[in-house]
Chains A and B, each alone.
Chain A
Amino acid sequence: MQPTLTRRAALGGAAALALASCGGGDPPPAAGPRAGSGAGLLSSIVALEHAAIAAWAAIGEVLTGEGRGYAREIRAREVANAERMAALVRELGGTPPKNRPAAEYERLFPRLESEADALHFARDLEERLVRAYLEGLRLLPDAEQRGAAADIAAAQAEDLAVVHVLAGEPAAPQPFVTGAS
């Protein structure tokens, strides 16, 4: 299997793990967000952000110098994004997914043996996040939700641009940033 596929599968696995933490075998809640409110999609984004927070911590362990500083900063931005999305879920009467212990995500991440490995992983991670928020723009039903998705999509695109720069590439290589390379 190609390394890229492994990294992407790792991200999917980590997000699925986070999603599993929001229900498990518990009985369904008696009341909650109505169907079509956007709560389901928002919750899946929160779950992805939890995985991203753990991933950026792992990436930061491998990067050095300026790269490590940006990794810390981007991780903090993902924490803020997760909180903002979780607040929207709560506004709808839902319970956002909780994060799992970092070790549970880390065992699903690819082995990061060099800065190049870490930046490849970071690129796949940020592309997936950009894609998630752009999909949110199309699928979320409420203007406030779409506004938040637009804000964060732009911020994720910046994070992705920083990863490009750290890898020695142009910050903005493509005219349309879709999250699919």
Chain B
Amino acid sequence: MPTRRDFLLASLAGNQGLGQLLELERRLLAAYHVALARDAIEPELGRLLLSHEREHVRGLEQALGRGRPRTSVLVPTTGIDFASRRAFARSALELERVAVDTYREVLTSFHDDTLLQPLGSIMACGAQHEVALRQVLGEHLLERN
């Protein structure tokens, strides 16, 4: 039978996973924010994806119990290529891919039943962002599976 210590350790691991996801979502938020400012993404698509990332960050901050959401916090965008719309789409696609893979890992070991579906719905949105970015790149739309 699981002990209280087991529950505490599981909770700690769960918070670490959520923290990792929050960092990734903040990086995506910052990426789309800067890309829009530098015209490195078509504006309508950029605004749409940015609004999604804002919602994801807000949701994760609430899940972590960090009180008032701080979606205005932007993290550095080191390593993201804003040189052209194509270059940015390639960089953003890689970021989205890493995020979806991380959600998958976290979801497999996560134990908070109330958060599994919401996290899954954010992961699913990330997978759709990948399709949107492949469309920008003129690539085949399907990859995962």
Q: How far is the CB of B49 from chain A (nearest CB, A)?
A: 7
A151 to B116, CA, bound (A): 14
A176: nearest chain-B partner, CB-CB: B121
Tell me the count of chain A residues lying within 8 A, CB to CB, of chain B: 39
Is A172 touching B131 in the complex (CB atoms < 8 A)?
yes
A80: nearest chain-B partner, CB-CB: B145
Is B100 touching A154 in the complex (CB atoms < 8 A)?
yes
Q: Check: B75 CB closer than 8 A to any chain A CB.
A: no
Which of these binds chain B: A43-51, A56-64, A134-142? A134-142
Tell me the count of chain B residues lying within 8 A, CB to CB, of chain A: 37
Is B142 touching A158 in the complex (CB atoms < 8 A)?
yes
Is B128 touching A172 in the complex (CB atoms < 8 A)?
yes
Contact of B125 among A81, A150, A157 (CB under 8 A): A157
Q: Check: A8 CB closer than 8 A to any chain B CB.
A: no
Is B117 touching A172 in the complex (CB atoms < 8 A)?
no
Provide the A1-23 mask, 1 if CB < 8 A to any CB of B, else 0: 00000000000000000000000
Residue ranges of A at the interface with B (Cβ–Cβ < 8 Å) = 70, 73-74, 77, 80-81, 130, 133-135, 137-138, 143, 146-147, 150-162, 164-165, 170-178
Residues of A with C-beta under 8 A to B117 = 134-135, 137-138, 178
Chain B residues numbered 5-33 whose CB sits less than 8 Å from any CB in chain A: none
Residues of A with C-beta under 8 A to B55 = 175-176
A159 to B126, CA, bound (A): 13
Q: How far is the CB of A133 from chain B (nearest CB, A)?
A: 8
> Which of A147, A171, A173 is packed against the most chain B CB atoms within 10 Å?
A171
Is B56 touching A175 in the complex (CB atoms < 8 A)?
yes
Is B127 touching A154 in the complex (CB atoms < 8 A)?
yes
Q: How far is the CB of A47 from chain B (nearest CB, A)?
A: 20
Is A143 touching B108 in the complex (CB atoms < 8 A)?
yes
Is B141 touching A162 in the complex (CB atoms < 8 A)?
yes
Is B131 touching A165 in the complex (CB atoms < 8 A)?
yes
Contact of A143 among B51, B52, B109, B118 (CB under 8 A): B109
Contact of B141 among A143, A161, A170 (CB under 8 A): A161
Q: Check: B143 CB closer than 8 A to any chain A CB.
A: yes
Provide the B37-66 mask, 1 if CB < 8 A to any CB of A, else 0: 000000001001101100110010000000
Is A158 touching B121 in the complex (CB atoms < 8 A)?
no
- With A134-B120, A162-B141 as contacts: A174 and B125 at CB distance below 8 Å: yes
Q: Check: B135 CB closer than 8 A to any chain A CB.
A: yes
